[in-house]
Structure 1
Amino acid sequence: MRVITFASTKGGVGKSTLAALCADGLLREGARVQLIDLDPQGTLTKWAEPIAQRSPALLTSRMAPIAGASFAQHYNALITILEDETDWVIIDTAGSDDVRQLAALAICDLVISPSGPVEAEVMGVQKTLRYLETALQEIGSTVPPMDMLRVVYQRPNGFPNAEMLVMRELIYDHFGAVDAIHQSAAIMSFLGRRMTTAEAITAGSDAAPFLKMQAAADKLTQSLRGQFDV
């Protein structure tokens, strides 16, 4: 079992969309995937639950906040809902600092933090890195936080201005990047379909945008597999 947490202290950066794309790619590879949604908006759950009813390879779970609970209680609560026979666990977090995100960062093998060439999103990655450091200290891990963090650079539509080019250079030079994902309208609306890309193509939807999404998902999952040499 490999656990991947999608996190950023900046909301609206595309964590849920990337988590769904990653799950989509892994499912098409034949993997058994569990999604754990910690985001109060439940965007990933709304996409995944109908699919889980049609596919036994996808499991969905939600963990509500535990009022007044400590880090250890949230961490243990996450452990109890992990499915032993799952190949990959994908955790989607809220765009904020909270103890559940801390637990999600502590329990995972890899952290994916999306960012476009925007200062607020880059700062969200930087804050997430510091939060990851705190999470690892909580469990006594000596793994360097940078070894666990991977940034997915989200290319904007159109031509970047000078400030965006500086932000892009910072993302690649300071953090490195797993892969670039184009912020197309098709990808941004992916979650609203309540279907996998393969189901959307079979249903008779215009195949072109979904084939592009499959290519993006495959590139991302192949890169993630490379992190674990599997």
Structure 2
Amino acid sequence: MSTTSPIIIAFASPKGGVGKSTTCLGIAGALSKQGKLVHVVDYDQTETLWNWYSTTGARDIIPNLTVEKSPPENLRQYMHRFLELKHDYVLIDLPGTLTPDMLALGVLADLTITPSKLNVPDTLQASKLAADLLDTAKRIGKPLQHRVLINDVPTMLSRAQAFTLEEIDGSNLPRFKTFIYTRPAAYTEAFLNGRPPHFSDTSRPAITKAIEELDALVSEIQSIVGQRQEERAAA
């Protein structure tokens, strides 16, 4: 059990269908497999993660993971309760429509992750969100840790996807080195059987590859939030 404030990770995108809830689920499973106490707050309008947790038996499969659906309190006020939770990590799946309060939480979080597929609509919205978060960070006077996660990546990139990736890397849009590839057997099934990749059948190649990707991603995340915690402790 954590004896300090939990690490807060927000998942944000102004566009639906980018894999926000799926990414949150995969990371929650990877952290839980490490033995971390993980709490997920499902603010998304679809309540995808809450429905997963409450209907698939996930609470019995992963005892150190808890999920709650959107609380009624004002979000910025509710942030104080997140900091008081006796968990190692609090993961917040934000709704697709970002309000000033949502942007503020994205800045106050130790890390905000924006999943994006390699297409123009997703990357344009990710760039817009990055600019909005940076403006909010300047107003609040807090440092920002924001990364784009390229997900749902096919094994072979099309010419358009390769060009989009070059555009991202040539911009100021920060991204994770790790890609999350298209693996329906690992992620789609998780919402049916309650088992994210780390708690699924590791004899299946799709599952083991998904676990490798998620572990690499979590390693990047822990490096980033470790620096943020040091900054917070020194403030």
**What range describes the TM-score normalised by the shorter chain of this pair?**
0.7 to 0.9
Residue aligning to 1:177: 175
Letter of the 1:58 partner, please give it.
L
- Name the CA shift for 1:140/1:176 in 2 (closer, same or farther; >3 Å): closer
Report the Cα offset of residue 131 of structure 1: 2.6
Residue aligning to 1:197: 197
1:133 paired with 2:121, answer no
SS at match of 1:201: coil
Q: Deviations over 1:171-214 (max 9, x none)?
A: 23322421111022224413333223344328xxx633222222
Residue aligning to 2:119: 118
1:219 paired with 2:216, answer yes
Report the Cα offset of residue 82 of structure 1: 4.9
* Unmatched runs of 5 consecutive residues or more in structure 1: 67-72
Match of 1:17 among 15, 18, 22: 22
Note if contact 1:8-1:113 (Cα within 8 Å) is conserved in structure 2: yes
SS at match of 1:151: strand
- Name the CA shift for 1:180/1:199 in 2 (closer, same or farther; >3 Å): closer
Runs of 4+ residues over 6 Å off in structure 1: none
Report the Cα offset of residue 137 of structure 1: 4.3
Match of 2:206 among 193, 206, 209: 209
SS at match of 2:149: strand
- Listed as ranges, the matches of 1:86-125 within 5 Å are 86-125=87-126
Note if contact 1:115-1:153 (Cα within 8 Å) is conserved in structure 2: yes
SS at match of 2:175: coil
SS at match of 2:114: strand
Worse-superposed segment, 119-128 or 180-189: 180-189
Q: Deviations over 1:82-107 (max 9, x none)?
A: 55211011111122223452243133
Percent identical: 24
Note if contact 1:35-1:59 (Cα within 8 Å) is conserved in structure 2: yes
Note if contact 2:82-2:90 (Cα within 8 Å) is conserved in structure 1: no
TM-score, structure 1 normalization: 0.82
SS at match of 2:45: coil
Letter of the 2:200 partner, please give it.
A
Letter of the 2:78 partner, please give it.
A
Worse-superposed segment, 151-160 or 10-19: 151-160
Report the Cα offset of residue 54 of structure 1: 4.7
Q: Deviations over 1:39-63 (max 9, x none)?
A: 0101122223432345441121222
Residue aligning to 2:59: 52
* Unmatched runs of 5 consecutive residues or more in structure 2: 1-5, 228-235
- CA distance in structure 1 between the aligned counterparts of 2:8 and 2:137, rounded to whole angstroms: 15
The total of aligned residue pairs comes to 217
TM-score, structure 2 normalization: 0.81
Q: Deviations over 1:107-158 (max 9, x none)?
A: 31111111121010001211211231244245332x2x4xx11111125325
- Name the CA shift for 1:170/1:104 in 2 (closer, same or farther; >3 Å): same
Letter of the 2:168 partner, please give it.
I
Task: Give the root-mean-square deviation of aligned CA atoms.
Answer: 2.4
- CA distance in structure 2 between the aligned counterparts of 1:162 and 1:55, rounded to whole angstroms: 41
- CA distance in structure 2 between the aligned counterparts of 1:216 and 1:160, rounded to whole angstroms: 17
Residue aligning to 2:3: none
